[in-house]
Amino acid sequence: MNKIDCDFHYEGERAETAAGRHVLGRVVFGEATAAPTVRDGVPEIGLHMASPGFDSFTEVWSTDAPAETGEHRGLVYAHDGEYLFCAGVIPEGATYREPTREAYEAAFEVMDRLDYRHVFRMWNFIGGINSDNSEGLEIYRDFCVGRAEAFEAKPERVTCMPAATGIGSRGRGIAFFFLATRTGTTQNIENRRQVPAFEYPRQYGPKSPSFARATRLVPAGEDETRGAVYVSGTASITGHETLHAGDIDAQCELTLDNIAHLVGSGNLRLGGLDGGHDLKELRWVKAYVRHEEHLPAVRAACADVFPPQTHVVFLNVDVCRDDLLVEIEGIVPAPEF
Ligand code: 3EB
């Protein structure tokens, strides 16, 4: 069975691909936005997410089988028979509902045509996330409407919303990328301490955000405990409410507690799933920090819980609710046997 891996290549470091690995997609977290293209045979997208004092890196997704690349309605993709990487952009506009719905529908078309049934992780980088669109609706909420409509157009997709991130970007417009599997199964994991995001009350916007708190990707024929767990962007939210407004240390603590609880065996068991993980098993962690002066506090909170092999990157961008100061995500890789 093919294996999919994430890696971060830091600025100034020579990006080498390990022997026998094939690159499926590259996401440049840099100082400029770059539309999705196929470069040297690999889909690539550039996000304006880096800034002085924070991290600048390229996220590289690889597999052990050669990939085929292609383009569809402005999206670029690569797939290797088991995994699909696909990226797209929604240009800056007066409103985002319709272009978001169209872009997500195009993404679902790519999955259908190429026969990759299950999305297991999506990322959305939203310029001006807390600003109003031309109709006075916050851009994040506007985006959520279009995204929800795309999921609702295919009822079977509503029951399998993937883990996701919906976060600010320093660039304009919206960029997104996602990963899907052909024969693997996905298990959605909710956090018993949080209301599922897709059931948030109306006060957070006309349509609830379409994502699961985490997705476990179980390769075909494998025991579920051997799946990798993709943890969504997680914040200082209990139930559906933001806690600790204005207190970065307390927000970091609750955010990390939420992730620990989410991936722990007790929460998995309540969801009918076997296995369980410790915060220390997380890798490829991204910490999104709203105010640059909070970087030392977020760095210290992460250093307390993650070992050096975790790889934590810090990005200075806005978060979807204006009272959220920090958001953290990561991946528990499939255990090696
Ligand atoms: C939250 O828990 C914080 O809109 O895709 C986290 C992860 C958040 C994903 C999304 C939003 C999204 O509601 C915000």
**In degrees rounded to 5, what are phi and psi of residue 103?**
-65, -40
Ligand 1 mean position to 7 CA, how many Å? 23
Average pLDDT over residues 101-119: 96
Predicted confidence (pLDDT) at residue 281 exceeds the cutoff of 70: yes
Of 190, 327, 329, 336, the catalytic one is: 327
Closest Cα to atom 12 of ligand 1: 166
Residue 6 Cβ inside 6 Å of ligand 1? The answer reads no
Buried b or exposed e, range 171-205, using 16+ CB within 10 angstroms: bebbbbbbbbbbebbbbbbbbeebbbbbebeeebb
- Mean pLDDT of the residues in the chain: 96
Among 204, 258, 290, 320, residue to substitute to test ligand 1 (most atoms within 8 Å of Cβ): 320
Predicted confidence (pLDDT) at residue 88 exceeds the cutoff of 70: yes
Residue 148 Cβ inside 6 Å of ligand 1? The answer reads no
Average pLDDT over residues 29-40: 96
Predicted confidence (pLDDT) at residue 179 exceeds the cutoff of 70: yes
Residue 81 CA neighbour count, 13 Å, CB half:
9
Closest Cα to atom 6 of ligand 1: 233
DSSP H helices, the chain, are 97-114, 139-152, 155-158, 248-263, 265-270, 295-305
Closest Cα to atom 9 of ligand 1: 165
Predicted confidence (pLDDT) at residue 169 exceeds the cutoff of 80: yes
Active site residue 327: yes
195-225: pLDDT as tens digits: 999 999 999 999 999 999 999 999 999 999 9
| Measured distance CA(77)–CA(189) in Å, rounded | 27
Q: What is the pTM of this model?
A: 0.97
Domains, the chain, in order of start with CATH, read 5-332 (3.30.1330.40)
229-274: pLDDT as tens digits: 999 999 999 999 999 999 999 999 999 999 999 999 999 999 999 9
Point out the ligand 1 atom lying closest to the alpha carbon of residue 143. 4
